[in-house]
C-alpha cells in the first residue's frame, strides 16, 4: 500500500471517528445546556422563595404594629372618658390623632406588602411549573445521551482501534503532518483533487477550491509514496481512483 493510500485510509477512519465523537458530544452538550438551565431556574426559585418569606414577615410585622397602635388608641380613648381637665383631654386627643395617622400609614404599607406577597406567590408558582417542564427536558436529554452511548459506544471503540492501527502504518513524519492538518482543519487533513477542465488541464483543490498547478496533479500520479500538498491551504491532496485511472489512460 502506497503512502497516499495509507493516508487516505487513515483519513476515512479519522472522519468516522470524529463523526461518532461529534454525535456523542452534541448530545452531551445539549444535556449540559438543559441541566444548566434547570439550575438557573432552581436558583431563581430559591431567591423568590426567600423574597416571599421576607415579605410575609414584613407584612406580619406591620400588621402587629397596626394592632398595637389600635390597642393604644383604645386605651387612650378610655382614659379620655375619665379625665377632668381640658388640658389633659387635649393632650390625649393629640396623641390619639397622631397614632391614627401613623396607623393609617402602617396599614397602607402592610397592604402593599400583602399585595407583593400575592405577586411573589404567583411568580413562585410560575417558576415551579417551569422547573417541572425543564426537568422533563433534562430527562429527555439524559435519555438521548444514554441512547447515543449505547449505539455509538462499541462502534466508537472499534473505529478508534482501526484508526490507531492505520496511523501506525504511516511513517512518523507523514503522520505528524496529517495530525497537525487534521487538528487545524477539524479532520479535513486531505483534500480531493477536483477536475475543472481536463482538456485545458485545470484542476482545483477540494479543500480551498483554489486552482492547482498541473505539476501537483502529476505529482499525485507519479509519486505515490510522497506527500503532495495544496500550495494554498497545505492540505494533503488525493485523487479518486476513477480520475486517476482516466488520467492514466489519457496519457
Mean pLDDT of 231-242: 94
Task: Please indicate, yes or no, whether residues 162 and 207 belong to a single structural domain of this protein.
Answer: no
Residue written as grid cell 402592610 = 110
The pLDDT of residue 231 is 96
Above 80 in pLDDT, residue 39?
yes
Residue 249 confidence class, pLDDT cut points 50, 70, 90? low
The pLDDT of residue 184 is 94
Task: Please indicate, yes or no, whether residues 21 and 125 belong to a single structural domain of this protein.
Answer: yes
Mean pLDDT of 21-42: 91
Non-local CB neighbours of 181 within 8 Å, separated by 6+ positions: 188, 189, 190, 234, 235, 236
What percent of the chain has a predicted confidence (pLDDT) above 70? Answer: 99
Q: Report the CATH number at residue 36.
A: 1.10.287.1490
Task: Please indicate, yes or no, whether residues 195 and 150 belong to a single structural domain of this protein.
Answer: no
Nearest to 38 by CA among 111, 140, 117, 116: 140
Task: Please indicate, yes or no, whether residues 236 and 138 belong to a single structural domain of this protein.
Answer: no
* Residue after which a domain boundary falls, among 145, 169, 193: 169
Contact call for residues 213 and 231 (beta carbons, < 8 A): yes
Q: What is the pLDDT of residues 103-146, one digit of tens each?
A: 999 999 999 999 999 999 999 999 999 999 999 999 999 998 88
* Residue after which a domain boundary falls, among 147, 169, 191: 169
Nearest to 51 by CA among 105, 108, 107, 127: 127
The pLDDT of residue 83 is 87
Query: Structural domain tally of the chain?
Result: 2
Q: What is the pLDDT of residues 64-118, one digit of tens each?
A: 999 999 999 999 999 998 888 999 999 999 999 999 999 999 999 999 999 999 9
- More confident position, 152 or 139: 139
CA atoms within 13 A on the CB side of 85: 3
Domain that holds residue 67: 3-169
Task: Please indicate, yes or no, whether residues 40 and 128 belong to a single structural domain of this protein.
Answer: yes
Task: Please indicate, yes or no, whether residues 125 and 237 belong to a single structural domain of this protein.
Answer: no
Mean pLDDT of 224-241: 94
The model carries a pTM of 0.60
Distance separating alpha carbons of residues 10 and 49, to the nearest angstrom? 57
- Write the CA distances from 121 to 7, 82, 126, 223, integer angstroms: 65, 48, 9, 77
Task: Please indicate, yes or no, whether residues 109 and 155 belong to a single structural domain of this protein.
Answer: yes
Task: Please indicate, yes or no, whether residues 70 and 152 belong to a single structural domain of this protein.
Answer: yes
Q: What is the pLDDT of residues 153-205, one digit of tens each?
A: 778 889 999 999 999 999 999 999 999 999 999 999 999 999 999 889 999 99
Task: Please indicate, yes or no, whether residues 155 and 208 belong to a single structural domain of this protein.
Answer: no
* Residue after which a domain boundary falls, among 169, 189, 220: 169
Amino acid at each position: 500500500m502506497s503512502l497516499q493510500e495509507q493516508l487516505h485510509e487513515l483519513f476515512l477512519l479519522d472522519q468516522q471517528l470524529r463523526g461518532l465523537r461529534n454525535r456523542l458530544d452534541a448530545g452531551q452538550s445539549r444535556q449540559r445546556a438543559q441541566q444548566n438551565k434547570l439550575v438557573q431556574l432552581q436558583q431563581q426559585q430559591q431567591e423568590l422563595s426567600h423574597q416571599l418569606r421576607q415579605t410575609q414577615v414584613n407584612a406580619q410585622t406591620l400588621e402587629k404594629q397596626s394592632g398595637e397602635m389600635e390597642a393604644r388608641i383604645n386605651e387612650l380613648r378610655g382614659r379620655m372618658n375619665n379625665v377632668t381637665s381640658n388640658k389633659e383631654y387635649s393632650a390625649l386627643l393629640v396623641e390619639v390623632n397622631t397614632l391614627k395617622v401613623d396607623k393609617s400609614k402602617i396599614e397602607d404599607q402592610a397592604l402593599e406588602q400583602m399585595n407583593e406577597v400575592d405577586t411573589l406567590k404567583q411568580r413562585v408558582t410560575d417558576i415551579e411549573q417551569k422547573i417541572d417542564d425543564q426537568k422533563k427536558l433534562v430527562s429527555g436529554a439524559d435519555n438521548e445521551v444514554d441512547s447515543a452511548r449505547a449505539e455509538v459506544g462499541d462502534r466508537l471503540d472499534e473505529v478508534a482501534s482501526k484508526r490507531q492501527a492505520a496511523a501506525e502504518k504511516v511513517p512518523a513524519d507523514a503522520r505528524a503532518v496529517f495530525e497537525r492538518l487534521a487538528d487545524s482543519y477539524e479532520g479535513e487533513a486531505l483534500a480531493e483533487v477536483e477536475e475543472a477542465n481536463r482538456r485545458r488541464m485545470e484542476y482545483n483543490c477540494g479543500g480551498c477550491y483554489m486552482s492547482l498547478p498541473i505539476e501537483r496533479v502529476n505529482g499525485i500520479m507519479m509519486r505515490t509514496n510522497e506527500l503532495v500538498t495544496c500550495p494554498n491551504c497545505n492540505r494533503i491532496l488525493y485523487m479518486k481512483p476513477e480520475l486517476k485511472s482516466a488520467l492514466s489512460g489519457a496519457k
